[in-house]
Amino acid sequence: MTDTATATTTADVARRPVRETADGTPDAGVDVTKLRKEILAELTYSVGRSPETASVRDWFVATALAVRDRIVDRWVIEHDSEHARPKKRVYYLSLEFLIGRMLFDALHNLGLTEATREALAGLGVDLDQVRGAEPDAALGNGGLGRLAACFMDSMASIGVPAFGYGIRYDHGLFRQGMRDGWQQEYPEDWLSFGNPWEFAHPEVDYPIGFGGYVEQVNDGGKPKHIWRPAEKVEAVAFDMPVVGWRGRHVNTLRLWSARAPDPISLDAFNRGDYVGALADRVRIESISKVLYPSDETPNGQELRLRQEFMFASASLQDLVRRHIEDYGDLRTLPDHVAIQLNDTHPSIAVPELMRILVDLHDLPWAEAWQITVATFSYTNHTLLPEALESWPVSLMERLLPRHMQIIYLINALELEGARGKRPGDDALLASISLIEEGGGRRVRMGVLAFVGSHKVNGVSALHTELMKQTVFRDLHGLHPHRITNKTNGITFRRWLAQCNPRMTQILIDAVGVEVLDDPSRLERLIPMARDSALQEALYAAKRENKMELARIVADRNDVWVDPDALFDVQIKRIHEYKRQLLNILETVAIYNAMRAQPMRAWMPRVKIFAGKAAASYRQAKLIIKLANDVAKVVNSDPTVRGLLKVAFLPNYNVSLAEVIIPAADLSEQISTAGMEASGTGNMKLALNGALTIGTLDGANVEIKEHVGDDHIFIFGLTAQEVEARKRKGFDARAAVDASPTLKQVLDAIRDGVFSPDDPGRYRELVDGLLDHDNFLVTADFDAYFAAQRRVYKLWRDRAAWMNSSIINTANMGWFSSDRTIGEYASEIWDVKPTLG
């Protein structure tokens, strides 16, 4: 069982993925010579290079194209043949798809990884280098966008016929650089060398209107509304095939790009006004230029609303056209179409579908509304009040005048219904109204999505419960069967098999190759958790992964970390509610303790941070600077050398996550309880054998239930207690006075111990914490510090630690996104998966 775990030393051998042969996976019968010929043909005829002059990037493009050809055969069959037409399709509308690199996804799911490695090796080319030449498709900010990507993989894998609809941003999430420890944002440019996975369809384009007025005409005694937009944009389709596990099913990710109907103003050009000649085009095409840089703060930007409407409208026009071609009649739409709104960003689709049904297809309002509600469902991702999307009525009236009328009518009818059910309850009416009054009237997109959907889901059990009690309390009262929970999941294909081949091979040897198809089979590890051979094999694999990460840390941060130290990682967007600050405070506390007693038998530890802060989020950027300042002092202090290292790795993205997660021992999931809707990083890390230190927040609660209380380090206030503390008014100064450890830490930071170049840098941060500790960092500090001591007590006993680690992996099967998608399919979409 230990062969791959111990025999691998160099990175290229190490990255070798699992052997897929015994069970008749496609890999077994692949003709390597043929594959090599195909790659060479692509290199010559599509890239236009000879093997002698080809760069790594050329080889990547040639390989991707050769693989893509194999996907396309099946794709075309599934989409163009009459017989293959599915009864019902899912349309997943998301403003974000955080996909990452795609080559290994495709290779792994087609069972072509080993064959491709061999085919390229015969040409003197290393597959792992080729893999590294692919840019990350970073069309998302964080968890929400990554969830959409995992769902696309799962829908293709269990056979849910689906389209993902989104925007083809020219520039995805910014690249994060560091200057003197401060975050710098640089534009991301994933398309600069083309995208070999996509098919441009300039002929698939839909007109998107903005502005103008609504004309009311008399249509045989009935009033009819015609929207006359002032401005037209074209939405053009770019398709990427999404191949599922074992290549049995292929779905489509269709991303829209904005195009100006008139590419240039010749008049202006001929006058010599070359910039003016392109001005309209630049303005219009800016709609799909950049991903919005934040998913947690409202950004009242007109361009954002234009993005939302363009992609919602184009997607609806596309699916309505397909439905009419296939079935001829829009009244059967809910029988054949399920539309999932990933957060409120696409919820303008609700009035847009009403407009299509009522204005363009002459359906009566009531019938159109029934169809709409039966077709849509909505996933809520946050309870943070500042992140609940709303748009000024004035902006909506100017940009989307007809939609605003429709929203008013939806609202009037909803309020009438509520009045019927609860007469005289004005507070209720105010709380469920689509229009927020006072301080400038605004449209509440969450309410719009809620009333326009037959199901509304939260993303973890706790989050769904809190949804019922807080943001949607009154709507839940009126529609008690609408809210449902669908706890998030992750695709094990990317987050175990591809990113951690060493561990995967050991798991296959232990429980059988069937585990690749059935993650519940991981439970067979439970009785083996104390088996010392298994423990040692997994420990050795983890150590190899840590060695690889150590090389990256040395390379990028110029710090050497010991692969035998405990790797304590917190990798996620930088946000106050995620409490990276709490982790930094604990780091300083342990640093102080080590300096006070350098001769004690400390266990060596490495604190690893990674994550981006929204460009406009000052406090988050200051927290990054603090982590880097602490790192600088700690890493250069001879007293703690070898005992404590701190590294903030720049530019966190999917590819970096794929390297850090397999190398993690401890997973930090320490958000203020009640604030993290689910988390998915927590799942990736636990699956890869990291133990969790965390609060009872989001899916941590369910992870705890699955792995058991003895195998997770839970600490801190519960969501209820947080609520109670906030209501009472929490006194941070009293908490700090009661904790000498914390007091010493805060004093050191405030007094400039970590910022000798600018001693006042953190004064405001520390004073702010004492005056209004909104995220209860000081309240949870002692409990967190104590939980960390429990971590080290277990870490000292390797057998006990590995037992817990194996128990974690063994019980994570339920967190597969295949399970999540199965639940959406049966309980929300009414679609039967054809596979899995």
Ligand X SMILES: *Cc1c(COP(=O)(O)O)cnc(C)c1O
Reply yes or no on whether 246 is catalytic. no
Among residues 680, 692, 695, 741, which one is catalytic?
Answer: 680
Angle between helix 501-511 and helix 532-557 axes, rounded to 10 deg: 170
Reply yes or no on whether 85 is catalytic. no
CB 161 within 8 A of CB 81: no
Task: Determine phi and psi for 338, rounding to 5 degrees.
Answer: -125, 125
Q: Which is nearer to ligand X, 411 or 653 (CB)?
A: 653
Q: Which is nearer to ligand X, 138 or 828 (CB)?
A: 138
Cα 399 to Cα 302: distance, rounded to the nearest angstrom: 9
Tell me the per-residue interface mask from 160 to 199 with ligand X, x by CB under 6 A, - otherwise. Answer: ----------------------------------------
Q: How far is the CB of 245 from ligand X (least distance, A)?
A: 19
Q: Which is nearer to ligand X, 19 or 494 (CB)?
A: 494
Footprint on residues 134-163 left by ligand X (CB under 6 A): 142-143, 146
Q: How many C-beta neighbours within 10 Å does residue 619 have?
A: 14
CB 690 within 8 A of CB 669: no
Cα 766 to Cα 754: distance, rounded to the nearest angstrom: 13
What burial letters (b/e) apply to 110-129, b meaning 16+ CB within 10 Å? bbbbbbbbebbeeeebbbee
Judged by CB under 6 A, the residue of 572, 621, 625, 711 near ligand X is: 572
Q: How far is the CB of 278 from ligand X (least distance, A)?
A: 35
Footprint on residues 332-371 left by ligand X (CB under 6 A): none
Range list of H helices, 32-180: 32-42, 56-80, 103-110, 113-121, 127-132, 143-158
Q: How far is the CB of 678 from ligand X (least distance, A)?
A: 7
Give the SS3 label for residue 532.
Answer: helix
Cα 80 to Cα 76: distance, rounded to the nearest angstrom: 6
Q: How far is the CB of 655 from ligand X (least distance, A)?
A: 8
Q: How far is CA 332 from the centre of its chain?
A: 33
Cα 501 to Cα 509: distance, rounded to the nearest angstrom: 12
Number of residues engaging ligand X in binding (CB under 6 A): 12
Q: Which is nearer to ligand X, 101 or 146 (CB)?
A: 146
Reply yes or no on whether 421 is catalytic. no
In the bound state, the residue with its beta carbon closest to ligand X is 681
Q: Which is nearer to ligand X, 146 or 402 (CB)?
A: 146
Q: How many C-beta neighbours within 10 Å does residue 769 have?
A: 22
* Dihedral class, residue 265 (left if φ above 0, else alpha if ψ from -120 to 50, else beta): beta
Q: Which of 34, 245, 232, 36 is nearest to 160 (CA)?
A: 245
Among residues 578, 579, 625, 761, which one is catalytic?
Answer: 578
Q: How far is the CB of 680 from ligand X (least distance, A)?
A: 4
Using CA of residue 163, residue 166, residue 169, residue 175, what is the dihedral sign?
Answer: negative
Q: How far is the CB of 653 from ligand X (least distance, A)?
A: 5
Q: Which of 503, 429, 483 is nearest to 15 (CA)?
A: 503
| 463 is a site residue for ligand X (CB under 6 A) | no
Among residues 146, 306, 476, 572, which one is catalytic?
Answer: 572
Among residues 381, 476, 479, 575, which one is catalytic?
Answer: 381
Provide CB contacts within 8 A for 596, sequence distance 6+.
none
Tell me the per-residue interface mask from 650 to 689 with ligand X, x by CB under 6 A, - otherwise. Answer: ---xx--x---------------------xxx--x-----
Q: Which is nearer to ligand X, 17 or 142 (CB)?
A: 142
Footprint on residues 759-818 left by ligand X (CB under 6 A): none
Footprint on residues 102-131 left by ligand X (CB under 6 A): none
Q: How far is the CB of 573 from ligand X (least distance, A)?
A: 6
Q: Which is nearer to ligand X, 146 or 621 (CB)?
A: 146
CB 259 within 8 A of CB 285: yes
Q: Which is nearer to ligand X, 42 or 658 (CB)?
A: 658
Among residues 36, 684, 706, 750, which one is catalytic?
Answer: 684
**Count of alpha carbons within 13 Å of 146, Cβ hemisphere only?**
26
Among residues 168, 355, 521, 573, which one is catalytic?
Answer: 573
Q: How far is the CB of 688 from ligand X (least distance, A)?
A: 12
Reply yes or no on whether 232 is catalytic. no
Active site residues: 381, 572-573, 578, 680, 684
Residues near ligand X (CB under 6 A) are 142-143, 146, 572-573, 653-654, 657, 679-681, 684
